[in-house]
C-alpha cells in the first residue's frame, strides 16, 4: 500500500467504500473504518489513515479492483480467475504472495502473482507447459498481447487452426509479467469474444441464436441448409452437434438448441465459456452434409471377415476422435494401425479403389 492509495481511500470515503469486506464511510469529519471482524467509528483523518495502514491488504485490494478504468467484463473476469468473490482478502493475498493463484481458461494456464502495492502480475501459457518443474527458459517468451495472433494460427503439427476454440492450441510459449489489461487482451486474441460472452451469460444478457434462427439468416450457397428437414425432425442437428460441438472438438459450451421450444439430445459440453450460436465452421459443414443427405440410400453387399468389419469400425473411430496419428506403426494390434490398414486396402480394394470390388454407383457420379 502507498500514499496514493491512502489519499484515494480518504477521498472515496465521502461516497462510501464497500469492497470485499472493507467498508469506509465519512460523516463530515468523522470516519468509519470496518472490516469483517472489527469496526472503528468516529475516526479523524489521521486515525483513518492509521487503521488503513494497519490493514494494507484490504486497502490495496479495494484500490486494485475499483480505482482502475477497465471494462466491467474485464474486472469480472479477473476477479473470477482470482476467486475474489469466494475467498476472503487475507486468504487470497497469502496465496498470491506464496507462489500465486492458478486458474485455467480452455487450454490456457494462468498464474496470478502479487506485484508492488497490491497490483497483480499475470503469466499465461499452454496448460501442458504449466508444470511447476517446467523450464521457462525453454519456452518462447512474449510480453506483447498482439504477438499471440501468430502463435495460435497453427497447431503443433503446423496445421492451420480454422476454429480458434478447438483443443489444438500449440505449446512452447509463455507471456510473462502481464498486467490485467494485457492478460485480458491476450486471452481475447487466443479465444476471441469468450470473456465477453462469459460475462454476458453471468449477467443474464447472452443473446442466443438457435439453429433454426441462425439457418434462416443463411443466404447464397449456404441457404440450402434451410431445406435440411427430411421428416427426421431435429435428428440431423443432433448429428451435427455430436460431430462438431463435443468437448473433444471445441472448448466452448454449446448453449444454442434446435429452436426456442426444442432442445437437442446431445450434451452441450463442460467448457467455461458459452457458445451462443452455430459457428461458421458448423454452418459450412452442415451445408456439405445437407447435400450429402439428399442422396438416396442404396444397398451394398460386401464380403468381410469379422475382424475386418471391426477394423473398419476402429478406423472410423480413430479418425473421428483424432487419434489416428497417435497409433504407432509397431501397434499392429490396433485396427487403425497404418500397416494393418494398408494390408486391408491391398486385400479388399480393387484397382479403382472400390471396397471389395463393389462400385459405388452403376453410373458415373
Q: At what angle do helices 72-82 and 180-190 cross, to 10 degrees?
A: 90
pLDDT at 227: 52
Dist CA 238 CA 183 (whole Å): 36
Confidence bin at 321 (pLDDT 50/70/90): confident
Dist CA 350 CA 357 (whole Å): 5
Q: Using one digit for the tens of pLDDT, what is the confidence trace for 104-157?
A: 999 999 999 998 888 999 999 999 999 755 566 789 999 999 999 999 999 999
Give yes or no for a contact between 186 and 113, defined as CB atoms under 8 angstroms apart: no
Mean pLDDT over residues 235-255, rounded? 91
pLDDT at 223: 53
Map grid coordinates 496470478 to a residue.
Answer: 112
CATH no. of 207-293: 3.30.70.2320
79: CB partners within 8 A, 6+ apart = 65, 85
Domain ranges across the chain: 3-66, 72-199, 207-293, 298-365
Dist CA 30 CA 70 (whole Å): 31
pLDDT at 229: 55
261: CB partners within 8 A, 6+ apart = none
pLDDT at 5: 94
Dist CA 236 CA 286 (whole Å): 9
Q: What is the pTM of this model?
A: 0.84
Residue 60 C-alpha from the chain's centroid: 30
Strand pairing class (274-275; 253-254): parallel
Q: Using one digit for the tens of pLDDT, what is the confidence trace for 71-100?
A: 999 999 999 999 999 999 999 999 999 999
In which element (H, E) is residue 26 found? strand 22-27
Dist CA 274 CA 279 (whole Å): 12
Confidence bin at 60 (pLDDT 50/70/90): very high
pLDDT at 283: 86
Cell of 30: 468523522
Q: Do domains 72-199 and 207-293 have the same CATH topology?
A: no
pLDDT of 38 strictly over 90: yes
Dist CA 43 CA 30 (whole Å): 5
pLDDT at 219: 63
Mean pLDDT over residues 233-262, rounded? 90
184: CB partners within 8 A, 6+ apart = 70, 74, 77, 78, 195
pLDDT above 70: percentage of residues in the chain: 93
pLDDT at 125: 96
Mean pLDDT over residues 345-360, rounded? 90
For the ranges 103-117, 277-291, 318-332, 348-362, the maximum mean pLDDT occurs at: 103-117
Dist CA 13 CA 5 (whole Å): 12
Dist CA 221 CA 22 (whole Å): 59
Confidence bin at 232 (pLDDT 50/70/90): low
Domain 72-199 has CATH 3.30.750.24: no
The closest alpha carbon to 117, from 63, 37, 193, belongs to: 63
Q: Using one digit for the tens of pLDDT, what is the confidence trace for 181-202?
A: 999 999 999 999 999 999 999 9
pLDDT at 365: 44
Cell of 114: 502479487
Mean pLDDT over residues 253-275, rounded? 94
Amino acid at each position: 500500500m502507498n500514499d496514493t492509495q491512502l489519499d484515494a481511500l480518504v477521498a472515496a470515503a465521502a461516497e462510501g467504500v464497500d469492497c470485499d469486506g472493507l467498508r469506509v464511510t465519512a460523516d463530515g469529519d468523522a470516519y468509519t473504518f470496518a472490516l469483517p471482524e472489527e469496526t472503528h467509528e468516529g475516526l479523524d483523518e489521521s486515525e483513518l489513515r492509521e487503521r488503513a495502514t494497519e490493514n494494507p491488504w484490504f486497502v490495496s485490494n479495494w484500490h486494485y479492483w475499483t480505482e482502475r478504468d477497465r471494462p466491467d467484463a474485464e474486472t469480472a473476469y479477473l476477479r473470477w480467475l482470482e476467486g475474489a468473490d469466494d475467498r476472503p482478502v487475507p486468504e487470497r493475498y497469502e496465496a498470491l504472495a506464496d507462489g500465486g493463484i492458478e486458474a485455467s481458461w480452455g487450454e490456457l494456464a494462468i498464474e496470478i502473482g502479487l506485484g508492488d502495492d497490491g497490483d497483480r502480475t499475470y503469466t499465461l501459457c499452454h496448460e501442458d507447459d504449466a508444470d511447476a518443474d517446467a523450464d521457462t527458459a525453454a519456452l518462447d517468451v512474449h510480453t506483447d498481447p498482439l504477438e499471440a495472433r501468430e502463435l495460435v494460427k497453427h497447431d503443433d503439427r503446423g496445421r492451420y487452426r480454422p476454429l480458434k476454440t478447438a483443443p489444438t492450441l500449440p505449446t512452447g510459449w509463455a507471456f510473462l509479467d502481464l498486467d490485467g489489461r494485457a492478460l485480458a487482451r491476450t486471452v481475447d486474441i487466443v479465444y476471441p469474444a469468450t470473456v465477453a460472452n462469459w460475462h454476458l451469460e453471468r449477467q443474464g444478457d447472452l443473446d442466443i441464436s438457435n439453429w433454426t434462427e441462425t439457418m434462416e439468416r443463411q443466404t447464397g450457397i449456404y441457404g440450402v441448409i434451410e431445406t435440411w428437414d427430411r421428416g427426421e425432425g431435429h435428428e440431423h442437428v443432433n448429428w451435427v452437434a455430436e460431430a462438431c460441438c463435443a468437448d473433444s472438438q471445441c472448448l466452448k459450451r454449446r448453449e444454442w438448441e434446435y429452436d426456442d421450444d426444442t432442445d437437442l439430445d446431445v450434451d452441450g459440453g463442460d467448457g467455461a465459456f458459452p457458445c451462443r450460436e452455430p459457428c461458421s465452421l458448423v454452418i459450412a459443414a452442415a451445408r456439405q452434409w445437407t447435400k450429402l443427405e439428399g442422396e438416396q440410400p442404396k444397398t451394398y453387399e460386401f464380403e468381410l471377415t469379422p475382424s475386418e468389419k471391426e477394423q473398419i469400425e476402429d478406423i472410423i473411430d480413430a479418425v473421428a476422435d483424432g487419434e489416428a496419428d497417435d497409433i504407432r506403426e509397431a501397434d499392429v494390434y490396433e485396427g487403425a494401425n497404418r500397416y494393418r490398414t494398408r494390408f486391408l486396402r491391398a486385400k479388399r480394394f480393387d484397382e479403382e479403389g472400390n471396397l471389395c470390388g463393389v462400385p459405388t454407383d452403376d453410373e458415373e457420379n
